[in-house]
Amino acid sequence: MVQELKPALRPSASSTAMALWYVAARECALNEAELPEPGPQDCLVRTLWSGISRGTERLVFEGRVPVSEHERMRAPFQQGAFPFPVKYGYCAVGTVEAGPSDMIGRTVFCLHPHQDRFVAPRDRLTLVPDALPPRRAVLAANMETALNAHWDAGSGPADRIVVVGGGVLGLLVAWLAARLPGAEVTLVDVEPSRADIAAALGFGFALPENAPTEADLVFHASATAAGLAAAIAAAGAEAKIVELSWYGDGAIAAPLGGAFHARRLQLISSQVGQVAPSRRPRWDYARRSAAAMALLADDRLDRLISDEIAFEDAPSRLPALLGSGGAGLTAVLRYKSPA
């Protein structure tokens, strides 16, 4: 039986919302967005939090999405086209205000750009467990990428695992690896302060000059040539190096001579756009998304959110946050609650 949109909970305000747009290189603005008329299986969501992906959104912010990737890089519900103007983002958490009766009042995650209210089909929403704080749920997209990376890598118990690059993705990959029985996990990063986070999350830390060698498995997530070189150097004979970095239109030097061939190393890419082949016959996107959400039920992961910005302040704050010198981990946009 089709469930109708509950009339009593239709918004009394206008059918518009405010959305964040990247309008030119290193410039963004809040613009009014027209909300579509919800269908019987659509939900109207009032956004509580959305996460800024520093790596991907920095490339968008700087206009560095390669022409060859303009279609593959499109986010769900994106408007506009690369390079500018474009409404982008994919880590939104909010409350369903109207829609099928069993969804009203539920907290949901959606791969939606930064916008204070939006309409999306219910099958594009992932329920956030009641015990999971909505603010932490913005990490679901990163967790899904980390989970897919381990499937691509074939990580196993007792492996010696090195993760190069201590951004949010690298930290989540290392956190998942550390949950494998007997695994010896080390995060490698140039920032010494990452040592405290690594200790809190339950794995080791090393600066590049002290990075372990003879690893069974290496993940690279620093998006730098130096990081890729460190990842290759850390790999043991016939080990696998999983490349998670997204370089945009930049060229990257890869030291593939010498030991790379002599040690028969494997360099593979992992990307979240498709479910890993090892799981694809049984897993769809919805199952993977729900699994990633469930994995966030660890209070220590709140340490991965380092910045909080009011949505209305985003145009003035994001240039510094996404600039080349911007530090920190995940930044979240905080949306106003209805009066």
Q: For residue 284, with 0-12 CB atoms within 10 Å meaning exposed, 13-18 middle and 19 or more buried, which class applies?
A: exposed
- What distance in Å separates the CA atoms of residue 41 and residue 126, rounded to the nearest whole number? 14
- Is residue 116 located within the same domain as residue 70? yes
The count of domains in the chain is: 2
H/E run at residue 182 = none
* In a domain? residue 234: yes
* In a domain? residue 146: yes
* In a domain? residue 339: no
* In a domain? residue 99: yes
- Is residue 89 located within the same domain as residue 192? no
Q: List phi, psi (to 5°) of 33.
A: -125, 135
* In a domain? residue 290: no
Burial 190-227 (b: 16+ CB within 10 A, else e): beeebbebbeebebbbbebeebbeebbbbbbbbbbeeb
* In a domain? residue 98: yes
- Is residue 240 located within the same domain as residue 160? yes
Tokens of 250: 């930049």
Strand partners, 330: 305
Q: Among the residues of 39-139, which ranges form H helices?
A: 54-61
Domain that holds residue 121: 7-132+297-334
CA distances from 51 to 28, 43, 110, 332 (A): 16, 20, 11, 4
- Is residue 122 located within the same domain as residue 210? no
Does a cis peptide bond (omega within 30 degrees of 0) precede residue 83?
A: yes
CATH number of the domain to which 27 belongs = 3.90.180.10
- Is residue 177 located within the same domain as residue 75? no
CATH number of the domain to which 167 belongs = 3.40.50.720
* Residue 2 pLDDT: 32
pLDDT tens digit at each of 339 positions of the chain? 333 333 333 443 469 999 999 999 999 999 999 999 999 999 999 999 999 988 889 999 999 999 999 998 999 999 999 999 999 999 999 999 999 999 999 999 999 999 999 999 999 999 999 999 999 999 999 999 999 999 999 999 999 999 999 999 999 999 999 999 999 999 999 999 999 999 999 999 999 999 999 999 999 999 999 999 999 999 999 999 999 998 877 788 889 988 899 999 999 999 999 999 999 999 999 999 999 999 999 999 999 999 999 999 999 999 999 987 667 899 999 999 876
* In a domain? residue 104: yes
